[in-house]
Amino acid sequence: MAINLANNNSLANITALPSSVSGGAMTLLATQTASGSATISFTSGIDDTYDSYVFKFINIHPATNNSSFQFQGSTNSGSSYGVTITSSFFQTYHAEDNSAAALAYNTSNDLAQSTSFQIIADTTGNGSDESASGYLHLFNPSSTTFVKHFISVDNHYYNGTYSINDFSAGYFNTTSAVDSIQFKFNSGNIDSGVIKLYGVS
C-alpha cells in the first residue's frame, strides 16, 4: 500500500505514527450509536492497556418517558452483567419556571452491595428535544488487587421542565478484572444517542 500525498499535503493510508509524535492522551477506542437499542455493550478494548477509561454519552434519548440511564460491568467478557456495586448518588435540579431548585442526596439511586445496574441519569424525558449527556470515568478496571472505582456526571432534561445534574460514584467490589460495560435504560430502549469509549494514557 502506497503513501498518498494529497494536494493539501495530508497523508493517507498511514496506520501508525512514530512514538516521537504524540497523538494526545485520550484515545478513541470505540463509538456506538443507539437506534432503538435495548442495550449497548462494550466488550472489547477494556483491559490493562490504559490506566483509566472514559465513556462519554451524548444525547442519549429514551424511548420511554422518564426512564433512567444506567450501567453495569462484567468480569466474563459480557456473558453476564452483575458485579457487586456500592455507590453514592446526589443531584441538583432547577425548574425552567424557577419554581424549584435544590441539591440533595438521592437514596433511590444509590447501591449498597447490589448487583443491580447503577443509575447515572435518572428520569430522562423522551420529548423530541430531551436527552441525557455526560461521562463515566472508570479507573484501572483490569486490576486484580483493588476494587474498581468509577465517577460519573450527567445532565439531562426532565419532563420538559427541569434541568437535572446527577453525580454518582462508587466501586465494583471485586478484585477480578472488569472487562465489559453495558448501558441501558431501566425501561424501554435507547431510542438514539452516541456512546464513545476512550482510553486515557
Interface with another protein by CB under 8 A: which residues? 1, 3, 11, 13-18, 20-26, 51-52, 86-90, 103-105, 107, 110, 112-113, 139-140, 143, 145-147, 149-151, 167-171, 173, 175, 200-201
Nearer to another protein, 55 or 167 (CB): 167
- Looking at the Cβ atoms of 2 and 98, the one nearer to another protein is 2
**Cα separation, 111 vs 108, whole angstroms:** 8
Q: How far is the CB of 79 from another protein (least distance, A)?
A: 23
> Toward another protein, which CB reaches closer, 6 or 21?
21
Nearer to another protein, 26 or 63 (CB): 26
Supply the minimum distance, in Å, between the C-beta of residue 94 and another protein: 17
CB of 24 to another protein, least distance (A): 2
Other Cβ atoms within 10 Å of 33 Cβ, number: 13
CB of 69 to another protein, least distance (A): 19
Indicate the length of the chain as a whole number: 201
As a whole number of angstroms, the distance between CA 188 and CA 193 comes to: 14
Q: Do residues 83 and 75 touch, judged by C-beta distance below 8 A? A: yes
Residues 69 and 186: their CA atoms lie apart, in Å, by 7
CA-wise closest residue to 132 among 54, 195, 181: 195
Residues with Cβ within 8 Å of residue 69, at least 6 apart in sequence: 57, 60, 62, 119, 120, 121, 122, 124, 132, 154, 156, 183, 184, 185, 190
Where on the phi/psi map is residue 77: left (φ > 0), alpha (ψ -120 to 50), or beta?
left
Q: Which is nearer to another protein, 35 or 115 (CB)?
A: 115
Displacement of CA 151 from its chain's centroid (Å): 10
Q: How far is the CB of 38 from another protein (least distance, A)?
A: 29
Give min distance, CB of 64 to another protein, in A. Answer: 27
Report the residue number, 1 or 97, with the smaller CB distance to another protein. 1
